Structures are given as C-alpha cells and as structure tokens.
Structure 1
Amino acid sequence: MNKINIINFLFIVIFWIGNSNANSLISYQSVYEIELDNERVVKNTFGTPYIKQANGQLLLDWFDNCSSWVSNQRMNLKFINSSGVGTLSDINYSLNEKYDGSEMTFALQVKENNMIKQRINGKAEKNKKVKVKLFDNREKELEFSGDIIFPHQHLKSIISNIKDDKKIVSHRVYEGSIPEKFLNVSTFINNKTVKLEKKLLTAGISNKFWIVRMAYYDENKQTPEMELTAHINQQGFVSFFKYDYPSYSLKMKLKKVVLSPTKCN
C-alpha cells in the first residue's frame, strides 16, 4: 500500500468509529492531535529513509440529517523522514450513509505539498449485490458480493457485540478510501475499559471506553495492512486512536469535543 493510500485509509477508518449504534448516536464536532508513537522502536532500515517525525490535527463534524449520517472531515498531517525531507498532507473527506446501510455517497480530495494527488466522488448501493459508481476523470462501475457492508453498518455490529460481550467480529467492508477494493476487517474486543480526563469531555458523553483492536486486510492477503486500537464508548465516540503500520505508528488524542443538537421529528 503506497503512502497516499495509507493516509487515506487512516483518515476514513475514523468514519467507521464515529457512527455506530443508531439508538445512541451523538452528533458532535471534535478535534484530535496527531503525533508519532516515539515509544515504538524503529527496526534497521538498511539505509532506507524512515519516518522520524509526524504531527498534525484532525477535525471531525458528524451530524444526523434525519435520514442518514453525514460526516465532514479534514486532516492536516506533516511527516519528516530520517533524511530531513518533509511532506505535508491535506485531506478532505465527506460521507453520507443512509440509516439502513442501503446507500452511501462519498467525496475525497488528497493534497500533498499543496498539489492535488487524488480527487474522487463515488456512490455505492447495496441490494443483492453492492454496486459502486466512481466519478474521477471518467465514470467507472464496480460490483461486489452482497455480503459486503458499509461503514455505518459495520460499526453498528461492533457496538452490538460490545454490549453482547462477543470478543471477535469479522466483516468485509467497502468505504471508498481505496476506491476499487473492499477490506476484510477483524475486530477484537477487550473487556477492559478506561476513562478519560473529565475536563476533555462534555455533558452527555459517556466516560466509559472499551479497548477495541481492528486488523485491516487487503482482500485475500494474510498480513494486515494496518492495525488500529481505539478507545470507544457505547455511543460510538472515540477518545483515542493508535494506528500501527509496518514501519511506524501514529497516535490521535482527543483535544476538544462539542455536542451538536439534533432536531428530527
């Protein structure tokens, strides 16, 4: 997986966390600080440059439009490698998924050092098959098997299994970060719970977070492309992310969250 896809993948996986159980979802705006996990030991790279520094910020805006969940996200991330070469990524992503998981639309734009590297709009519909239309320089149609689900339905399943005390959940998920592929996702739920500093939360957000670890596989590959550890509550809100890639790890820590009022009849 190349660097652009890794960044897209990191960014859009967050949507899976932010939308979970339709009965307890909260609409909110939040800010996370991103940093390199300096506790991870860098293996011998035999002269190949490795990531020495990473920092940035993620802005999320989630809201219920009364028939679907809408997400607008922006991430700024700066990498500096061991040779002193820096890369600045600016990623904008929006997604709209219907409550019942039958349809989703998404738009993704990736800039690297202020140059557009990727711009894609897409629409996916689920019936007996999952059909996807991509709109880039030209329209392209894809078809996947009907057992593939979208991000919202995936997280509904995870939250349900947290409540039912089931430890392992596996799904095939299409979410658009790698537009022509789906991902196999294995989720491991730990009984252990943690709490966040109260000053970082606002009234209405539960301060009981389960430790959930997810492994993301590219179709039939046996080795995961990435592993994610998240501290997630039963409202689908996450206080902490840790992304483990083959050669480095990133942490995202909550800086601020504000609830957004929802007015649906």
Structure 2
Amino acid sequence: MLKLRLGHCLCGIAGSSLTLSSLLLPSLSSAADLQPHKAVYDMRLSSAQNGADISDVNGRMVYELSGSVCDGFTVDLRFVVMSVDDEGQETITDLRSTYFEAPDNSQLSFAYKTFIDDFLAEQAQGTAEHQSSKVDVDLSGPDEKKLSFDGSIMFPLQHLHSVIDGAAGGQHFMVSKLYDGSVTGEQLFEATTVVGRKLADPLSQRSDQLSLPNALGDADAWPVSIAYFNLSDGARGERTPDYQLRTVLHENGVSRSMNLNYGVFELEGALVELDLKPMVHVSTCGSSVVLEEEVSAPFAGAIKKEQLR
C-alpha cells in the first residue's frame, strides 16, 4: 500500500534555520516576502525499485497559500494519487491538510486527514506554540494529548522563510528541527537542506506544462533539496530520511519541477497551473486581499470540487 508523508513537503521547504544555534524567529523586515498563490502539480511515477510492489502512480497535488505577512498565512494542501500494484490492484490515497501560522511564527494551528480508498487512515488536529526554549503542542480530537519538544524548532513557514533567506544570503547547507503537526501530530522532524547556485535564468530547469507568469521570471530561483528525518522514532546511528524533496524554489515561495524520493520509489511533479495572488507588504499592513477558497481536486469521477477548509 502506498503511504505518503506529505503534510510538510511543500510547506516546509512545506516548511530550516541557518544553523540549529539560531534561536530567534525571523523578523518581518528580514523574512522572505511570500506571495499568496495556488499551484497545481501533476504527479507520476518516475522510478521504482524491484520489490516495491508498485507498477504505476499518478495523481495531482493542489497547494494554496493565502493570507499576508500582516495577519498570518494559511496553507491548504490536497494530494490525491492512484497507485497500482504488481497485480493491477488500484488504491487511492487522499491527503488533506490545512494549517495557519501566526505572522510572528509564534503559533501554529493544524488539521491533517489521510484517506485510503475513502477510509480515514490517519488524522491529527491541534495547536503548537513556541516557548522560550521549547514547543508546546495541544492535540485535540479523538487522540487528545499534550506534548512538549525541547530545543530550537521551526514551524513550516518559518522554515520556508529561512530557506529562502539563506539561499539569498549564499547559504548552501542548512539543518533544523521542524514541527508541522503532520502524521499523528506526535512527530518531530529534522530537515537537512542543500541549496544549489542561483539560476542565471529563473525559468530554466523546467518541466512545467504551462506558460509561467512573467513576474516569476523576475523572482530569483535556486535548486533545493530537503531530506526529512523522523526524530521521534528513537533510531540511533546512521539514519535514512522518510523522504527527500527536490525542487526549484523561487524567492516568493513558489515551487516548481519537483521530485519526491521515498527510497523504494520516486514521484515526479510538473507544475500545470499557477495563479499568483496580490502580495501584501509589511509597509501596507491593513489592506485586504480577496482569495479564492475552492480547490479543484483530481479524479473528477471519484472526488469532485471540495472545500479544503
């Protein structure tokens, strides 16, 4: 059965401090300016190892960033894939997530659900709050629980800010602890980020299947690779990542031409739709932005247009 761990894959690129000793939250004046947008990616199987029991995978990912640096950002992610095993049996995995991150990165509220063939296989809901040297988590719902993680820990968009700021500042290697509430809400991840040289042409290295907005050609871009390690599994010694994300990341937070490596198989994603929304800058806080809330899900015969929130 195909098992996807994607709650933070885009938001946390979802969602690294320049060093683990960097304890301060990024200030509004230095953080990257994220541009609200809706991006749709067609996903397909690019490779699978012998014994993976996967003959084909295809699907669609819809990522929507709304809000502003003044009021905080909301991320809605919908990822639906149909996998086929070696015997021809089809399985639909539907991941739905939404989270809100406060403008000062002090608090995170989240909700995740994963359906496998219409069966609710996994869910998490709750809030997380930064304290002076830890993160306190309050899980709600059927698995109500309080947790605490010690150390310097990033939330997803805080992580995204620092990756972009680090890339712009010439940082090529970053490591940080990351909490996003994904899976069951009890996992803490380590994100190891490698940033390549800034692309001379921001629209090069393309696998996109659409004409990109001219504005994206004016936004600096870097090839980025992030490996996500689960720190909550108690593993010692050399570890292997849960998965690895490779993408081209623009300075406004837009990701394109992505690759998701799960070890035994890889998925390739092509950007097929991009809608850039108005950006609210710190100097204009107080202005309003109207954003679309409906997202078209894939496999129209089985899953039609649904509200993510």
TM (norm. structure 1) is 0.88
Aligned ranges 1:44-59 → 2 under 5 Å: 45=51, 50-59=53-62
- Aligned counterpart for 1:32 among listed residues 27, 35, 41: 41
1:211 is the counterpart of 2:184: no
Structure 2 unmatched ranges of 5 or more:
17-29, 287-309
Q: CA–CA distance in 1 between the matches of 2:108 and 2:60?
A: 26
Q: Which amino acid aligns with 2:45?
A: L
Amino acid at match of 2:63: L
Question: 2-side partners of 1:147 and 1:41: how far apart?
Answer: 36
Aligned to 2:194: 188
| Count of equivalent residues | 255
In structure 2, the partner of 1:237 is 254
Report if the CA contact (8 A) 2:9-2:245 is conserved. no
Post-superposition Cα deviations, 1:231-253, rounded to whole Å, max 9, x if no partner, equal 11111111121011121000111
Which residue of 154, 157, 166 maps to 1:152?
157
Structure 1 match to 2:293? none
Q: How does 1:85-124 map to 2 (within 5 A)?
A: 85-124=89-128
Q: 1:183 to 1:3 in 2, by over 3 A?
A: farther
Q: Is the 8 A contact 2:15 2:155 kept in 1?
A: no
Residues 31 and 161 of structure 2 are in contact (CA less than 8 Å); yes or no, is this contact kept in structure 1? yes
Q: Is 1:202–2:198 an aligned residue pair?
A: no
TM-score (norm 2): 0.76
Deviations 1:192-230 (A, max 9, x none): 525246953124324653111111111155221211111
Q: Is the 8 A contact 2:48 2:54 kept in 1?
A: no
Matches within 5 A, 1:128-139: 128=132, 129-139=134-144
CA distance in 1, matches of 2:213, 2:138: 39
Match of 1:258 among 262, 270, 275: 275
More helix by share: 1
Contact 2:248 2:255 in 1 (8 A): yes
CA displacement at 1:136 relative to structure 2: 2.8
Percent of aligned pairs with the same amino acid: 24
Instruction: Quote how far apart the aligned CAs of 1:180 are.
Output: 0.7
Determine which structure has the larger strand proportion and give its number.
1
Does 1:78 find its partner at 2:82? yes
Q: RMSD of the alignment, in Å?
A: 2.3
The correspondence for 1:141, drawn from 142, 146, 151, is 146
Match for residue 67 of structure 1 among 68, 71, 79: 71
CA distance 1:67–1:19, shift in 2 (3 Å): farther
Please report how far the alpha carbon of residue 55 of structure 1 lies from its aligned counterpart in structure 2 after TM superposition. 0.4
Aligned AA for 1:156?
Answer: H
Residue 246 of structure 1 is matched in structure 2 by 263
Per the TM alignment, residue 56 of structure 1 is displaced from its structure 2 partner at its CA by 0.5
Alignment correspondent of 1:14: 10
Distance 1:119 1:259 in 2: 30
Unaligned runs of 5+ in 1: none
Which shifted more, 15-24 or 65-74? 15-24
Residues in 1 aligned to 2:224 and 2:267: alpha-carbon distance in whole angstroms: 16
